[in-house]
Amino acid sequence: MGYGITLHVKGEYALFTRPELKGERVSYDVITPSAARGILEAILWRPPLKWVIDQITVLNPIEFEPIRRNEVGSKISPRNVSAAMAGTAVDLHQNPVEDRQQRASLVLRNVEYLLDAHFTILKDKAGENDTPEKFYNMFLRRARQGQCFHRPYLGCREFAAHFRLMEEDEKRPVSYYAGESERDLGWMLQDLEYKQETANKKQLYSYTPYFFRASMKHGIIQIPQEVKL
Amino acid sequence: MENMLKNRYDFILYYDVENGNPNGDPDAGNMPRIDPQTGYGIVSDVCLKRKVRNYALYAREGQEGFDIYVSEGAVLNNKQREAYEATGLKTKDNKDDKLTAQAYMCQRFFDVRTFGAVMDTGDFKCGQVRGPVQLCFSKSADRIFQQEVTITRMASTTEKENATENRTMGRKYLVPYGLYRAEGFISPKFAQKTGFDENDLAFFFEALQNMFELDRSASRGKMSARKLIVFKHESELGNAPAAALFDLVEAKLINPGQPPRAYREYEITLDKASVPEGVEVLELL
């Protein structure tokens, strides 16, 4: 564990979509470990790095707001792209007027979290010089200067996240829920396990979701570590 | 790839609306969007992206590499397809299908290269393209006032209606005045993946400045881009937190006692002295 970090993240809006409510998106009450990992990876990630979220501190009151937007109903079909590339005349454009869906999102407002995390090094992907010290210091340097690989976001890219490194001796902000002994947040997505396999000379992609029972005690959610990921 | 993006950018665009509806809320019968907690006006990210796409359609119509994937209405530029067919991009190699298809989409479509797209249907997943340009919700500098205007029409739709004295009444919603601020980010690492280069960047900034000029309609009123401030970082990863840079720019009412009705009633200040080292400020507008 030695190389733990604490990141202070905040934003005006956030949408951590519940997988069971994806059509008209409804956010979880708090950030998921998966989304938190995405924020850390936006700052620093290399193939041998695996970020693990240890705990999430919810600093602000949990507030929701509905937003409805015009959206496009379908995705690009890779089959059509291949056909176009092979020279067949297919139309690759999307027409948002004909393919329109008005979809509401129930988003979170004014979120602020402390993310406590550490990383492990995947031995089989690590090179000779890939020491934990190196990555740790790279992360600290980037986070202190506000550097990022790409702008991190709170669930969706339109909801940008601002981040700041919490130094070890820094006083941690107090959660709005510090006085609340326990709140059950129900089953939450912990993370997705992505797999890529070759079977019968075909590339197969799969992902498996893992869930955990989230419980917020005094504003702090402990993330279980024993889940296989 | 000498034209590759090598700097991180964060930008702020100020635009205003006069007697128009910058972005209707489908949940509120097309009234201008508003933040219910504060009364400030908001404009969604996708609303502005639509305008950038439209600008690209008009300004670069028919140019290779500037096709628009999410296009509005009929598709007129099928000719481009022929151009692509002619170049003979081929994908028979199964293993790299995903990347080849992504590269093809990026190369052909300006909006895929800029904003990204999801290619995730069918038998084989092509994953998603994450574009370098990320836009947030715009927010107005002050509370906005939503005004409802009732209008009448002298003609009628049906014969039956025409027989009566009643004329059709309609409704328009407008904001008498609102100065909006959009914040955005450009990540060079993503740009290098999608092929969004320096030329695209220049064109994107051009689009931000001119997109309202080509988006006139009865509902919009007078919308104009007023100020575009770009923070150019010396390094790829950036030299300062975006939030710290955005805080340097502020729009203030010159006479706070009165409801604003024009751009000249605002003063936009940029605290140049506090710009951190390694960050260059470009005032493009």
More confident position, A168 or A60: A60
pLDDT (0 to 100) of residue A227: 55
Tally Cβ neighbours within 10 Å of residue B36.
Answer: 12
Rounded to whole angstroms, the Cα distance separating A146 from A143 reads 5
Q: What type of residue is A52? A: V
More confident position, B43 or A76: B43
DSSP B74: S
Q: Answer yes or no: do A78 and B98 touch at CB < 8 A.
A: yes
Interface of B with A in 76-135 (CB under 8 A): 78, 81, 84-85, 88-92, 94-95, 97-98, 100-101, 104-105, 108-109, 117-126, 130, 132, 134-135
- ipTM exceeding cut-off 0.95 for this assembly: no
Quick one: tokens of B183? 């914040």
Give percent above pLDDT 90 in chain B.
Answer: 65
Give percent above pLDDT 70 in chain B.
Answer: 87
Tell me, letter by letter, the H, E, C secondary structure of B43-66.
ECHHHHHHHHHHHHHHHCCCCCCC
Contact A207, A195 (CB under 8 A): yes
pLDDT in tens, B7-17: 999 999 999 99
More confident position, B235 or B165: B235
Q: Provide the sign of the torsion angle of the four alpha carbons B106, B111, B113, B116, taken in this order.
A: negative
- The pTM is what? 0.82
Mean per-residue pLDDT of chain A: 90
* Rounded mean pLDDT, A91-102: 81
CA end-to-end span of chain A, whole Å?
A: 17
Is residue B278 over pLDDT 70? yes
pLDDT in tens, A21-50: 988 999 999 999 999 999 999 999 999 999
> How far A123 CA sits from the closest chain B CA (Å)?
25
Q: What type of residue is B60? A: R
pLDDT (0 to 100) of residue A226: 66
Contacts of A89 in chain B (CB under 8 A): 81, 85
pLDDT (0 to 100) of residue B76: 45
Interface of A with B in 14-53 (CB under 8 A): none
More confident position, B11 or A91: B11
Rounded to whole angstroms, the Cα distance separating A47 from A187 reads 30
* Rounded mean pLDDT, B217-245: 95
Contact A209, A192 (CB under 8 A): yes
Residue for token pair 């969004």: B196
* Rounded mean pLDDT, B243-250: 96
More confident position, A77 or B162: A77
H or E element, residue B134 = strand B133-135
Contact B227, B283 (CB under 8 A): yes
* Rounded mean pLDDT, A196-218: 84
The b/e string for A84-121 (b: 16+ C-beta within 10 A; e otherwise) is bbeeeeeebbbbbeeeeeebebbbbbbbbbbbbbbbeb
- Greatest mean pLDDT among A4-18, B84-98, B160-174 lies in A4-18
Quick one: tokens of A172? 């941690």
Is residue B93 over pLDDT 50? no
Nearest chain A residue (CA) to B116:
A157
